[in-house]
Amino acid sequence: MRLDVFSPSVRSARLELLSDRDHYDRLIAKAVASTSVSLWIATANVKDMHVEAPVGSSARARGRYISLLDTFASFVRRGVEIRILHAAPPSRAFRATLAKLPILKPPQFEMRLCPRVHMKMIAVDGTYLYLGSANFTGAGLGAKGEGRRNFEMGIATDDDVLLDRTQERFDAIWSGRMCAGCRLRSVCPAPLDGVSTLAAE
């Protein structure tokens, strides 16, 4: 696919189209499951998502599904950094599961809320990028059954330029650099420039 958005010179980027169930099979069960360093997620909505238990586990043998937060807890135990940037408060079920996993806490696991976030992005280890329509929910990321999941579409890539640009944008919001000029600051529950300042102290 040809891209000429970022500079006058034309360059090529390798892209894979994901739709519907692909989000679960290729993005969640394959790419996200292989996270070893960092996982950055941007989403409007956050809900508790259940996925197949890890291969080789007794839970998998019994056909059980587990919360993806349990998987995140195993990542954190291995030193993985997880950031979730979201626009609305997480669902009640998500908060209940999170409360049962005290290991999911800063600095390795952190969530920050910005009401203006509507982008959907997942960056795995700084080497794999998803951009598309899917929120971080079971219906959005294909974990629901046929006839119940959303109709979603997005692209996945390992292109370093796209990864750099999207992670730079994510970090600008995450660190509060976008807050000063925000016209919704007066109604924001917790501007991120204040959160970032506290984190740095």
Q: Which fold has domain 15-178?
A: Endonuclease; Chain A (3.30.870)
Tens of each residue's pLDDT in the chain, 201 residues:
455 555 556 778 899 999 999 999 999 999 999 999 999 999 999 999 998 877 766 767 677 889 999 999 999 999 999 999 999 999 999 999 999 999 999 999 999 999 999 999 999 999 999 999 999 999 999 888 788 889 999 999 999 999 999 999 999 999 999 998 899 888 888 899 987 544 444
Element of type H or E holding 39: strand 38-43
pTM score of the predicted model: 0.89
Reported as half-sphere exposure (CB side, CA atoms, 13 A), residue 115 has a value of: 10
Supply the pLDDT for residue 1: 44
How far is residue 139 from each of residues 12, 49, 52, measured CA to CA in Å?
32, 9, 15
Nearest one of 68, 6, 65 to 39, comparing CA atoms: 68
CA–CA separation, 70 and 56 (whole Å): 16
